[in-house]
Chains A and B, each alone.
Chain A
């Protein structure tokens, strides 16, 4: 009963915030609303008893995505200050109305489809829980990710790598040259938060075997630590070691592929772990994935291939237009 009240408060707010975040006239505030929407969605995942997803949404979905969009906005705003969006008109009313009608029709159709779904879908819960003991881990979500559907996760780590390759080939990223010397409080915040972030990342990896958590949540925290370092202007030494960085980025895919090859040789099945040792293999993959995911998510924030040192901002902006 009281839970229903909770739902009836939470969901209308989520829908309203989604609308406002996409249609606010001020783009900056729209982005902040978008971040708030992500955090409320994380609360909704807690409510739906999906703690793994809540962890990922809180860290990746709203945190990193929000920071990414925010910094892209600032970057674009700086360049276009002279020519703001007033130069271009919006879409005329007629088209707006017809798209609105189309969207309403879509909404109605979706509602019909979604309500018509069977009340008790024949889920895979029983199938996946029945063989949990063979998977080598006790967290059902980790078992699905890395044992039953391991190739999904392999491809996903590949997608991360592709994304960062794409970003690096499109643009050069500038390290924010924040000066901490006049912000002593910020430095002390970093001193507290950074170690806890790294510790929590390791904890997420370890706990992922038995309970919600795992490489993605841990990697997101590691990425957050990297973002903080870059914001504080402290990451120059890390980010400029190009070889090491590249090695870290491909580590996840490499180790995963190697495990695939080894399991193929041992058992003759693609990602079929030898019986009983699934847990160990999963741990190896997850540890390598943690490093790659953390680096990838952190470096996405940079918005391009890191450039060496500072002071070449003119260079950088002209390379933007090459």
Chain B
């Protein structure tokens, strides 16, 4: 087991932590806006860490490039789609949760 393998393991463990955190947020938060926030932010960190971990194991430059491309795509897509969902929910009159509402 080389140093790189250990680093990969650590990064993947951290990634799993963020994914689990995102899921907990999804399960626990009260309204769609905060759920979007939990899911998008935590998962994007998780994706970044996973991509980084696999980059350490990549065999050639093209793999690193593809991993980077995947990461950028996921970031752009999930950020935009979460904005679209939130925006559309707001337009359709879903009330954001405030302290005091059940």
Interface residues in chain A, defined as those with a beta carbon under 8 Å from any beta carbon in chain B:
183, 185-186, 188-189, 192-193, 196
Contacts and interface: CB of A to CB of B under 8 A. Distances in A.
A209 to B, nearest CB: 16
B73 interface: yes
A183 B72 CA distance: 21
Contacts of A186: 80, 84
Contacts of B10: none
B73 A185 contact: no
A192 B73 CA distance: 8
A185 B83 contact: yes
Interface of B: 69, 72-73, 76-77, 80-81, 83-84
Nearest to A200: B69
19 contacts: A183-B84, A185-B80, A185-B83, A185-B84, A186-B80, A186-B84, A188-B80, A189-B76, A189-B77, A189-B80, A189-B81, A192-B72, A192-B73, A192-B76, A193-B73, A193-B76, A193-B77, A196-B69, A196-B73
Main secondary structure on A side of the interface with B: helix
Contacts of B80: 185-186, 188-189
A156 B72 CA distance: 35
A197 to B, nearest CB: 10
B69 to A, nearest CB: 7
Given A189-B76, A189-B81, 12 more contacts: A183-B84, A185-B80, A185-B83, A185-B84, A188-B80, A189-B77, A189-B80, A192-B72, A192-B76, A193-B73, A193-B76, A193-B77
A281 B80 CA distance: 42
Contacts of B73: 192-193, 196
Contacts of A196: 69, 73
A115 B69 CA distance: 43
Which of B69, B73, B80 is packed against the most chain A CB atoms within 10 Å?
B80
A225 to B, nearest CB: 14
A161 B73 CA distance: 32
Contacts of B84: 183, 185-186
A86 B28 CA distance: 35
A196 B72 CA distance: 11
B85 to A, nearest CB: 12
Nearest to B73: A196
Contacts of A189: 76-77, 80-81
A184 to B, nearest CB: 11
B36 to A, nearest CB: 14
Contacts of A193: 73, 76-77
A188 B80 CA distance: 9
B101 to A, nearest CB: 25
A58 to B, nearest CB: 13
A183 B81 CA distance: 12
Nearest to A183: B84
Nearest to A189: B80
Contacts of B81: 189
Contacts of A185: 80, 83-84
Contacts of B76: 189, 192-193
Contacts of B69: 196
Nearest to B81: A189
Nearest to A196: B73
Contacts of B72: 192
B6 to A, nearest CB: 20
Contacts of B83: 185
A130 to B, nearest CB: 29
Contacts of A183: 84
B92 to A, nearest CB: 14
Contacts of A192: 72-73, 76
A193 B72 CA distance: 10
A196 B70 CA distance: 10
